[in-house]
Structure 1
């Protein structure tokens, strides 16, 4: 199982803010690792765990309010080309509203799942009507070490932080409700099993944190590992790497073998910095398939000690060239002029003209988003 996560529109190995090459990120570099991994494994699945529709100029051109790019969404174009088996939603997928999200996902040639972004909430998670597929069943033919073919049914469950209704309240009020991650998984994993899933994978847009004390935790991957019936967790959201030193010292997080409480798990950083790999060995017994062995690893696109980063996939680069040229042209357009030098080098310790500019712009924008009758009796402050 291969994982990308938190790509945030960093599709090409290019930094649009500095107009220079990006040597440590970009899905086009990760794509090369994906192609290599597919050649190494007889049976291979590719997943993304969310936050792929927001975060970089290359895809901001396809988002409201300006929609400068009218072609197919660059991120969806890239993911279609890489032939993802399934994708989960992240919190940033909702930054441009529900209507835009639904319309954009229509371009996807891969299935999308999210079990706890809910249109109409039922009495239990099993009765919820979700925005996208509550879960997926992927039927695949896999080949064993002797060359024998087998039918395998893979259950896929997507979950994200329930806090999206706070973070994007203006977009989601009255349209989307959420449930806690672990509660949702506890209710639905047995349903996947009863529907015939041989293995169950969580596409979990949630990070790894020590012992959350409340059921609506934002980073709940460790607690998710307690849910019976889960065979692998593909995590994300926190932009960290697992298994790696990022999570050293967290109890029940095995950074040597890539396990959370014994369940294989991976988290592939952000912006295409790593490819996550969960490798499981299956055995078939009288009761069906079971996981005999498992391990997880991450492969960086710019490994330490290597003279050069992984070469970007030329097919993906060519495919995105029109959107890239449009982005460069838009970034080259002046948006204003200042006779005064602007910098933020000392912004953490004192005020400066750039910080004032940002604060004033935010303050001036406030009336566009908050009704006048509310602002009339309140101070309008800006923190920058």
Structure 2
């Protein structure tokens, strides 16, 4: 029914009601009192917004590092094909015209599937009509996403890859705070307003505002410097939420690639908070709900009260990788010809409760098969099984392998130059607690599983004193273990929620970490080639670009002089090193350079 027709019918009803009132008034007062009083109920409507985040290249329920169905201890499943089944069920339950589907970013990085279509058979291939279709675009288009925020990992492969992916989508990528450095205007659409049809009522206009993480300026500095800048999340929301409302939105949902209230990993290197969704909800009026991303946590529902309006804002984060799907259920009421939110609740649904959508799985089957063939290439052999499982507690060969590859690569890069005579140290971390290189045949996926991020390699000039500070900072990964207390490994690591990838060992020196000592006084017996480390001596530290640009807020490294860098991913460097050697043998690289102690006594033999 058109607005004019509806208004006409409503007006006609009002005239008829007036005639009835007049007729009643002409009767006796007693008769009038006996007439029932009818009040037309307010028009209400319900709709649902579904949300994913941090899917990280998981189109189907598959682990390309093990070349098998994904499996973890919690029995989680992954992938858009699983999510698609949940979405279809809800659309059938609620009604297709009452459901919106959005994402909060980090879509095209994280698996060998996404890597393949960024580097091996890239979607940036020219001419464009001959470029492959990105499997994540194929799946998300088929699932009929309405919008997605841009995540920080979208920029790992450069702006050209983000743009190529954007062109393949049937829905917009949103980022109100990603600013074109030349025009000072948003580099992506800031928001979109979707209209939901209502029987016998005006459309409900749902505004979706997208915001990404300011840390892109640090983490992908080489890809975005001079091209894009990134403003703060509450700051930019304060600018754009009123604009979304002015565009007619009855309901405003923010899709934010930012956690709720975590600590900021870059310290004071940027004037903006990393995980600011909670602050945004509290400080910026006019937001009804926030789909949260970035922190890889499951938050079914968090209520934040807006400081200006006193209204509840509903936040929800659906974990990552397609483990969960967020469901926001809205009720709105028509008041003075405007829809107002009268109820909003959120929950998360587990994708392991359903089978994969066969249509989505079939849609990306060719791409899936191509990647499986790629990761199963044989690249060498290994003399023994190398597991990373003990890496948070003990120095293990598999992490030293990462560091050794970096040392060799940087030494080759510096050969014949000004810094060729300096000792080269290397930073490495337990990036993937399930990584394992088997004895015998080594396939590409085995080596790739060591390094699950798209980092590149850089070399920074550091002093011995700076290396010591660096190690003291990395030792903050451990909680204090009192003398005589039992060793509880579940409570020993990840102090202050520090992730494993921010626990660096430094290869090329040896040292003890005394976990009975307070933070800042834990590094003992720091030695280089049998002698105490000279604080005044100079070293070259091989680091990944995330760390070199300030990721993790490690001391000194971001400001240190850059003496060499490579544009090749460290993962590829590891693969090439193994291919060239032909054999992985720990005797060629294992230094066993650090250990955990308590008052000098080793925790592990």
Tell me the equivalent position of 2:99: 44
Structure 2 Cα separation of the partners of residues 372 and 103 of structure 1: 40
Normalising by structure 1, we get a TM-score of: 0.85
Structure 2 Cα separation of the partners of residues 368 and 118 of structure 1: 38
Determine whether 1:26 maps to 2:75.
no
For residues 45-103 of structure 1, the C-alpha deviation after alignment (integer angstroms, 9 at most, x for no partner) is 00011001100112211012x33685200111100010101111111000000112112
Determine whether 1:335 maps to 2:379.
yes
Structure 2 Cα separation of the partners of residues 203 and 80 of structure 1: 18
Contact 2:50/2:328 (CA < 8 Å) preserved in 1?
A: yes
Structure 2 Cα separation of the partners of residues 281 and 349 of structure 1: 50
Tell me the equivalent position of 2:121: 67
Q: Where does 1:257-276 land on structure 2 (aligned, <5 Å)?
A: 262-276=312-326
Contact 2:331/2:342 (CA < 8 Å) preserved in 1?
A: yes
165-174 or 261-270, which moves further after superposition?
261-270
Tell me the equivalent position of 1:234: 291
For residues 97-150 of structure 1, the C-alpha deviation after alignment (integer angstroms, 9 at most, x for no partner) is 01121122110111111011111377xxxxx41221122222x2322xxx4253
User: RCO (CA 8 Å, sep 6+): is it higher in 1 or 2?
Assistant: 1
Determine whether 1:177 maps to 2:233.
no
83-92 or 359-368, which moves further after superposition?
359-368
14-23 or 324-333, which moves further after superposition?
14-23
Deviation at 1:153, TM superposition (A): 2.4
Structure 2 Cα separation of the partners of residues 156 and 377 of structure 1: 56
Structure 1 Cα separation of the partners of residues 263 and 64 of structure 2: 39
Pick the structure with more strand per residue: 2
Q: Where does 1:124-143 land on structure 2 (aligned, <5 Å)?
A: 128-138=184-194, 140-143=195-198
Tell me the equivalent position of 1:305: none
Larger CA Rg, structure 1 vs 2: 2
Contact 2:300/2:326 (CA < 8 Å) preserved in 1?
A: no
Tell me the equivalent position of 1:2: 50
Cα root mean square deviation, aligned = 2.8
Deviation at 1:3, TM superposition (A): 0.2
In the alignment, structure 2 segments of 5+ residues that lack a partner are 1-48, 71-75, 124-130, 429-605
329, 339, 346: which is aligned to 1:279?
A: 329
Tell me the equivalent position of 1:216: 272
SS of alignment partner, residue 289 of structure 1: strand
SS of alignment partner, residue 10 of structure 1: coil
SS of alignment partner, residue 383 of structure 1: strand
Q: Where does 1:180-329 land on structure 2 (aligned, <5 Å)?
A: 180-209=232-261, 216-226=272-282, 227-243=284-300, 262-286=312-336, 288-302=338-352, 309-329=353-373
Q: Where does 1:11-160 land on structure 2 (aligned, <5 Å)?
A: 11-22=59-70, 24-42=77-95, 43-64=98-119, 66-67=120-121, 70-120=131-181, 128-138=184-194, 140-143=195-198, 147-160=199-212
Contact 2:137/2:168 (CA < 8 Å) preserved in 1?
A: yes
For residues 172-201 of structure 1, the C-alpha deviation after alignment (integer angstroms, 9 at most, x for no partner) is 111111111000001111122122222211
> How many pairs are equivalent?
357
Contact 2:50/2:99 (CA < 8 Å) preserved in 1?
A: yes
217, 226, 234: which is aligned to 1:165?
A: 217
Deviation at 1:289, TM superposition (A): 1.6
Over 3 Å counting, the alpha-carbon distance change for 1:86 and 1:370 in structure 2 is farther
Structure 2 Cα separation of the partners of residues 369 and 261 of structure 1: 58
Structure 2 Cα separation of the partners of residues 374 and 177 of structure 1: 34
Structure 1 Cα separation of the partners of residues 371 and 53 of structure 2: 23
Structure 2 Cα separation of the partners of residues 369 and 235 of structure 1: 42
Deviation at 1:382, TM superposition (A): 1.2
Structure 1 Cα separation of the partners of residues 424 and 315 of structure 2: 45
SS of alignment partner, residue 382 of structure 2: coil
Structure 1 Cα separation of the partners of residues 338 and 422 of structure 2: 64
Structure 2 Cα separation of the partners of residues 382 and 117 of structure 1: 33
Contact 1:121/1:177 (CA < 8 Å) preserved in 2?
A: no
Tell me the equivalent position of 1:306: none
Structure 1 Cα separation of the partners of residues 358 and 202 of structure 2: 34
Structure 2 Cα separation of the partners of residues 113 and 90 of structure 1: 10
In the alignment, structure 1 segments of 5+ residues that lack a partner are 123-127, 255-259, 303-308
Deviation at 1:344, TM superposition (A): 2.6
Deviation at 1:315, TM superposition (A): 0.2
Structure 2 Cα separation of the partners of residues 371 and 114 of structure 1: 43
Pick the structure with more helix per residue: 2
Deviation at 1:357, TM superposition (A): 1.3
Over 3 Å counting, the alpha-carbon distance change for 1:253 and 1:156 in structure 2 is closer
